[in-house]
Amino acid sequence: MAETTTVGKSGKVVIRNVGLILSGDIDKPVLDADTIIIDDGVIIAVGKASNCDAEGARTVIDARRTCVCPGLIDSHVHPVFGDWTPRQNQLGWIDSTMNGGVTTMISAGEVHLPGRPKDIVGVKALAITAQRAFDNFRPGGVKVLAGAPVLEKGMVEQDFKDMAEAGVKLLGEVGLGSVKAGYEAQQMVAWARKYGIQSTIHTGGPSIPGSGLIDKDVVLEADADIIGHINGGHTALPESHVCELCERSSRAIEVVHNGNEKIAIAAAKAAIQLKCPHRIILGTDGPAGSGVQPLGILRMVAMLSSLAGIPAEEAFCFATGNTARMRNLNCGLVEAGRAADFVFMDRAQHTAGRTLLESVQLGDIPGIGMVMIDGIVRCGRSRNTPPATEIPVVVEPH
């Protein structure tokens, strides 16, 4: 199991001979480029080889005409500490998910901690501790944005100010704690927003002991920044209620692996029909009762593309640029100034699809040949995906 507590500098990295660059930008999902230049973990140029300065590279990667896509972002995970989950008593789940192309994870609450404190002092202490711990420790190199307190009755504005000043930037799923009424949640969400803390609300039936039904009216009244697992985690609201949320709210529409697949497709189609595909973001909602899904984000992309009729290059944006913009992250897009987090993919061996994008639109997940985080190669051929037809190679700079 790979462990990373410090991150070195990548120096200058050149990625050449790229066959397809997916931008992560849903307004222009494919770039007319074949070369990416990186300096110390940040993209400094994207374009044609003839227009890029490739001199002086410390590392050169020959993509061998495969696809380079922004590293995938899992918008909804439930970490605890380190690379262990007590929910399934598994070690190495974050590193394993990195082998599924995920380079950034966002906590929706550290709710599975055995004996999780529910008093206000404990809630704040856990959030600050989790934020600090994952800021210092990156399993497999993955950026885990953690420290997401679960709202409990009795919290006041000062509590949110205190947490924000300590570095907390997220709220755990509204509804997993004792705050379940729309009016209570609305006040706390507003306090959080005032101090720069982003909020997510549970949607649908209860998922763990202590949680409860959060219906469409509570979601609308609370007005959290992210409509968490709009397709249920696990049990979804009626399809008509989900479509009403898409129409009446302007917030992010989060679709997750550990939810109702039929409603996931309905929500995505509703967003497309409402001409707001930029609001769709993807998560796994794992670890959970259904386990850990290292390929969960790839499976969501393939499912939405194949069953909802969404072009694969746009579906990949749901897991990259859309999430980055909704979450204010400096990754998720292939453009100068962004973090050099990439997943190198090709069509899986023996898929019926003639190209990577066609194979995904047929419902097959791609093969991953390499994952890069901050310009540093974190894994080569994935141990979890089917083998890619071609894989990139690191070559000696000339």
Residue spans of the domains in the chain: they are 12-70+331-395, 72-294
Q: What pTM was estimated for this model as a whole?
A: 0.96
The CA distance from 183 to 195, in Å, is: 19
> Exposed, middle or buried: residue 354 (CB in 10 Å: 0-12, 13-18, 19+)?
exposed
> Exposed, middle or buried: residue 349 (CB in 10 Å: 0-12, 13-18, 19+)?
exposed
The closest of 67, 22, 98 to 372, measured between CA atoms, is 98
For residue 211, what pLDDT is reported?
67
Q: What is the DSSP string of 195-222?
A: TT-B-EE--BS--SBTB--B-HHHHHHH
Residue with tokens 């307004």: 27
Give the start-end residues of each E strand in 193-288: 200-201, 226-227, 252-256, 280-283
Q: What is the DSSP letter of 147?
A: -
For residue 346, what pLDDT is reported?
98
The closest of 283, 249, 286, 246 to 266, measured between CA atoms, is 246
For residue 209, what pLDDT is reported?
67
The CA distance from 57 to 302, in Å, is: 35
Which parts of the chain sit beneath pLDDT 70? 1-7, 208-211, 397-398
- Tokens coding 355: 């190209």
The CA distance from 383 to 387, in Å, is: 9
| Torsion 225-230-234-237 (CA) sign | positive
Which CATH number applies to 72-294: 3.30.70.890, 3.50.30.40, 3.40.50.2000, 3.20.20.140?
3.20.20.140
For residue 60, what pLDDT is reported?
97
How does pLDDT run across 213-231, given as a tens digit for each residue? 899 999 999 999 999 999 9
For residue 8, what pLDDT is reported?
72
Q: How many Cβ atoms from other residues are within 10 Å of residue 183's Cβ? A: 9
Give the angle 134-137-142 at the CA atoms, nearest 5°: 85
In this chain, the answer to whether the domains covering 12-70+331-395 and 72-294 adopt an identical fold is no
Cβ-proximal residues to 94 (8 Å cutoff; 6+ apart), any chain: 79, 83, 105, 139, 140, 142, 144
For residue 202, what pLDDT is reported?
96
Query: Is 144 in contact with 134 (CB distance < 8 Å)?
Result: yes
- Tokens coding 3: 């462990």
Residue with tokens 């222009």: 28
For residue 396, what pLDDT is reported?
74
Class of domain 12-70+331-395: mainly beta
Give the angle 327-338-36 at the CA atoms, nearest 5°: 140
**DSSP H or E stretch at residue 43:** strand 42-47
Query: Is 379 in contact with 363 (CB distance < 8 Å)?
Result: no
Amino acid at 115: G
